[in-house]
Amino acid sequence: MRPRYAVLLLALAPLASGCFGGQRLLEATVERDGEPVLQAKYGISDQATPAAAWSQLAGRHFKAVGPVTPDAGDPNKATLKGKVRITLRHAGTHFASADADQLRLVRVAGADDEWEIPKEEVERTAKTAGF
């Protein structure tokens, strides 16, 4: 392999993982009654605290991996009820989590199976997590 290609491969390797140098890739999972419902992945600074990583949940697009039933009055909103847990993991290791008895969601515009956690809900769950 030519040296310039090897350097190019090394430079592009972080793109394959979704993170650049100085970052860590987090997996965010929303569970209801112990079953995964939503998942997202995103990069944060490797210096970020759990509270800083939590604040970045607002506006993230979560993919539905379990049933999400839209609210009867507005199909672009949903409320997960039951034992709801949001967990952040890095490389399979717990990074942060919060429990709630409900979680309000907003559908991503133009998507059938993607949802966002509104900023107010991120802030509310941050308080329950102690951030």
The answer, yes or no, to whether residue 129 has pLDDT greater than 70, is yes
pLDDT averaged over every residue in the chain: 88
| C-alpha dist (Å) from residue 83 to 96, 99, 126 | 17, 7, 16
Band the pLDDT of 2: cuts 50, 70, 90.
low
pTM: 0.81
- For the segment 64-91, the average pLDDT, to the nearest whole number, is 96
Q: What average pLDDT does this structure show over 104-111?
A: 96
| pLDDT value for 6 | 43
| Residue 66, amino acid | G
Q: How far apart are CA 5 and CA 26, in angstroms?
A: 29
Give mean pLDDT, residues 52-80.
96
